[in-house]
């Protein structure tokens, strides 16, 4: 075997370990470097990992993706697939390949691997992972003379099970990262979702989806709205309700960024043992995807997502698709018109910013959740001045809790001072009526004409500019809120804002008008 393979393996172990923050897991990765060896099959174009035994094999599956990515880059074998093998315990071996621990749980501390026989000697109690490796290396028959092998021993050629001398066995399963952890937060349920009258309908629809996933009346469900308004909480609530009431229904939740990352990680041509990324989703009954607007970042992953979504629309599949975004389907960039049409063919609902009463209820609920005791006047201040989204309310409570943890209590004045950086009071008190009046004066039209169906160009330009300013300066207003104020629907508002932004970008004079209006309204 080429000497460079050993150095590449040593480098791979070092890099994977360096990327792990948990010291116990880092030790486990380093010990895997002793219990796993590598080979390269150029004929079949595969990188081969050889595990000393079944226990090592089970642990190794957790980290195989990281090792594989490191090796294929360092070996410059980008097109090579992966093969994972276990050493055949019945095959002969002239000498021990490396010192082995007397007990697997000792060699791999803090893992869930059961105890079992890995009889041998050579490990002594020490620092790394509970053991101290002997210095130097062992010269084994068939090894390259003069090579200092990694981690204190020489990785001699293994006697392994193969398709040639053993009965055919099922290929070891390579577990993708997205199957190794569950991203669904079990604490986010319908029971603790605080809503207001404007959002009761979307909550009711979400509960129907959870009760009857796959029902054509609510499939797909497309939820959109600004950041921090509770979309993800609703998605988790759907997943948790289904799991609690229909445990046989398979639910997959994934954020677009995670989908892209796992897609890239899974791509390996000629990988005979790869669980094909796309095939996994066909086994799911409910597919929930968050922040789908972020697919604009990756074309290949987006195309695969399109194919998966198309499969969910096959006749009589009975599968449910739930999507969330910060924009309506028509505002998605780089999505095909056909797919956008499909998203809009089901139930498409906006999550609105909470009103003042709901913000107060949310603030009180978050105080209980974070075990923070705030006086009612501070709670009123937070709910009055932080209108944008729930995340900012959470941030305010956590910020005040830091003061309480240091001083034991906090006064109203201290709370206001502490939240000054978070709360832009002047900007919060811009009203949509003030926006209308200021724009009407600038464009020499009346407020009444902007609120009417009049289509004269000066009026439509003023109306669109007012909608744009209201959207930018009053984050608590949804598109529906703005639409109601101008007697328009939310789609008309969305188009007006989009058109005005384009004109501002292209027209220097209009950009100056917009900036002057914006600054005058914020004074």
Distant-in-sequence, close-in-space partners of 209: CB < 8 Å, separation ≥ 6: 215, 218, 219, 221, 238, 320, 322
Give yes or no: residues 210 and 77 share one domain: no
Supply the angle between the helices 457-473 and 508-522 in degrees, to the nearest 10.
50
Give yes or no: residues 21 and 156 share one domain: yes
Give yes or no: residues 326 and 434 share one domain: no
Asked if residue 257 belongs to a domain, the reply is yes
Give yes or no: residues 508 and 396 share one domain: no
Kindly state the tokens that stand for 282. 């066909």
Distant-in-sequence, close-in-space partners of 107: CB < 8 Å, separation ≥ 6: 31, 35, 100, 101, 118, 123, 129, 130, 131
Asked if residue 359 belongs to a domain, the reply is no
Asked if residue 189 belongs to a domain, the reply is no
Give yes or no: residues 206 and 309 share one domain: yes
Task: Among 423, 449, 467, give the residue marking a domain's end.
Answer: 423
Cα separation of 328 and 179, whole Å? 30
Cα separation of 458 and 446, whole Å? 10
* pLDDT score, position 2: 55
- CATH number of residue 205's parent domain: 3.40.50.300
Nearest to residue 122, comparing CAs of 107, 112, 111?
107
Task: Among 376, 408, 423, give the residue marking a domain's end.
Answer: 423
Asked if residue 181 belongs to a domain, the reply is no
For 291, the 3-state DSSP assignment is: coil
Give yes or no: residues 209 and 145 share one domain: no
Kindly state the tokens that stand for 177. 């990262």
Asked if residue 221 belongs to a domain, the reply is yes
Residue numbers of the domain that contains 479:
428-522
Cα separation of 264 and 52, whole Å? 29
For 206, the 3-state DSSP assignment is: helix
Query: DSSP letters of 465-523?
Result: HHHHHHHHH-TT--HHHHHHHHT--HHHHHHHHHHHHHHHHH-HHHHHHHHHHHHHHH-
Give yes or no: residues 392 and 245 share one domain: no
Nearest to residue 482, comparing CAs of 343, 350, 344?
350
Instruction: Kindly give the confidence (pLDDT) of every residue in the chain, 523 residues in length, as a single tens digit, with 9 standing for 90 and above.
Output: 455 677 888 888 988 888 777 888 888 898 888 888 888 888 878 888 888 887 788 788 878 877 888 888 788 887 777 888 877 655 444 333 333 333 444 444 444 443 333 333 333 333 333 333 333 333 333 333 333 333 333 344 444 444 333 343 444 444 455 555 668 889 899 998 888 887 889 999 999 999 999 888 898 999 998 888 889 999 999 999 999 999 899 899 999 888 887 777 776 544 443 446 677 787 789 999 999 988 887 777 888 888 888 776 655 568 899 999 988 888 888 888 887 888 878 899 988 888 778 888 899 989 998 899 999 989 988 887 887 678 889 889 999 999 999 888 899 888 988 888 777 544 456 789 999 999 999 999 999 999 999 999 999 999 999 999 998 888 667 788 899 999 998 889 999 999 999 998 888 889 889 888 887 886 5
Supply the angle between the helices 432-443 and 479-486 in degrees, to the nearest 10.
60
Kindly state the tokens that stand for 218. 């609510």
- What's the pTM value of the predicted model, to 2 decimals? 0.50
Give yes or no: residues 158 and 202 share one domain: no
Give yes or no: residues 304 and 262 share one domain: yes
Asked if residue 17 belongs to a domain, the reply is yes
Give yes or no: residues 143 and 278 share one domain: no
* pLDDT score, position 77: 81
Asked if residue 502 belongs to a domain, the reply is yes
The 81-86 sheet, strands edge to edge: 36-41, 46-51, 81-86
Task: Among 423, 452, 467, give the residue marking a domain's end.
Answer: 423
Nearest to residue 40, comparing CAs of 63, 13, 9, 19?
9
Give yes or no: residues 304 and 343 share one domain: yes
- CATH number of residue 388's parent domain: 1.10.8.60
Asked if residue 190 belongs to a domain, the reply is no
Domain count of the chain?
A: 4
Give yes or no: residues 439 and 490 share one domain: yes
Kindly state the tokens that stand for 500. 């005005």
SS3 for 236-250 is HHHHHHHHHHCCCCC
* pLDDT score, position 294: 87
């Amino acid at each position: 075997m080429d000497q460079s393979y050993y150095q590449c393996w040593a480098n791979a172990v070092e890099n994977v370990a360096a990327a792990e923050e948990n010291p116990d897991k880092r030790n486990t990765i380093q010990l895997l470097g002793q219990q796993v060896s590598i080979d390269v099959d150029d004929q079949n174009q595969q990188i081969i990992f050889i595990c000393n035994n079944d226990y090592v094999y089970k642990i190794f599956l957790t980290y195989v993706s990281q090792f594989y990515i490191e090796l294929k880059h360092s070996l410059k074998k980008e097109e090579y697939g992966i093969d994972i093998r276990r050493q055949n315990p019945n095959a002969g071996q002239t000498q021990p390949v490396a010192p082995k621990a007397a007990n697997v749980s000792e060699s791999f501390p803090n893992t869930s691997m059961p105890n079992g026989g890995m009889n041998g000697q050579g490990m002594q109690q020490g620092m790394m992972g509970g053991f101290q490796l002997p210095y130097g290396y062992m010269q084994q028959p068939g090894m390259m003379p003069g090579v200092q092998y990694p981690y204190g021993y020489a990785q001699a050629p293994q006697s392994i099970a193969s398709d040639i001398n053993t009965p055919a066995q099922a290929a070891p399963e390579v577990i993708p990262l997205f199957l190794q952890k569950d991203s669904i937060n079990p604490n986010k349920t319908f029971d603790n979702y605080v809503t207001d009258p404007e959002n009761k309908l979307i909550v009711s629809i979400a509960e129907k989806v959870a009760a009857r996933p796959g029902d054509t009346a609510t499939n797909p469900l497309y939820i959109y709205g600004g950041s921090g308004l509770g979309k993800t909480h609703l998605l988790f609530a759907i997943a948790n309700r289904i799991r609690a009431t229909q445990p046989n229904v398979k639910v997959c939740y994934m954020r677009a960024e995670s989908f892209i990352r796992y897609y890239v990680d899974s791509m390996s041509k000629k990988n005979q043992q790869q669980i094909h990324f796309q095939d996994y989703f066909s086994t799911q009954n409910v597919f929930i995807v968050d922040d789908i607007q972020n697919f604009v970042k990756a074309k290949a992953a987006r195309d695969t997502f399109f194919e998966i979504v198309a499969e969910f629309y096959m006749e009589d599949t009975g599968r449910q698709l739930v999507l969330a975004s910060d924009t309506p389907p028509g505002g998605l960039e780089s999505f095909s018109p056909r797919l956008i049409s499909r998203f809009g063919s089901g139930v498409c609902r906006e999550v609105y910013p909470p009103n003042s009463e709901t913000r107060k209820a949310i603030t009180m609920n978050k105080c209980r959740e974070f075990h923070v005791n705030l006086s009612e006047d501070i709670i009123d201040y937070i709910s009055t001045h932080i209108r944008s989204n729930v995340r900012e309310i959470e941030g305010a409570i956590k910020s005040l809790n830091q003061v309480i943890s240091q001083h034991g209590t906090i006064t109203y004045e201290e709370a206001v001072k502490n939240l000054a950086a978070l709360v832009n009071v002047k900007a919060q008190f811009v009203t949509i009526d003030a926006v209308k009046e200021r724009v009407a004066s600038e464009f020499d039209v009346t407020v009444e004409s902007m609120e009417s169906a009049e289509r004269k160009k000066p009026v439509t330009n003023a109306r669109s500019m007012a909608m744009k300013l209201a959207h930018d300066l009053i984050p608590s207003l949804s598109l529906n809120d703005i639409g109601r104020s101008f007697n328009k629907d939310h789609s008309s508002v969305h188009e007006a804002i989009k058109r005005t932004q384009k004109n501002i970008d292209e027209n220097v004079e209009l950009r100056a008008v917009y900036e002057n209006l914006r600054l005058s309204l914020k004074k």
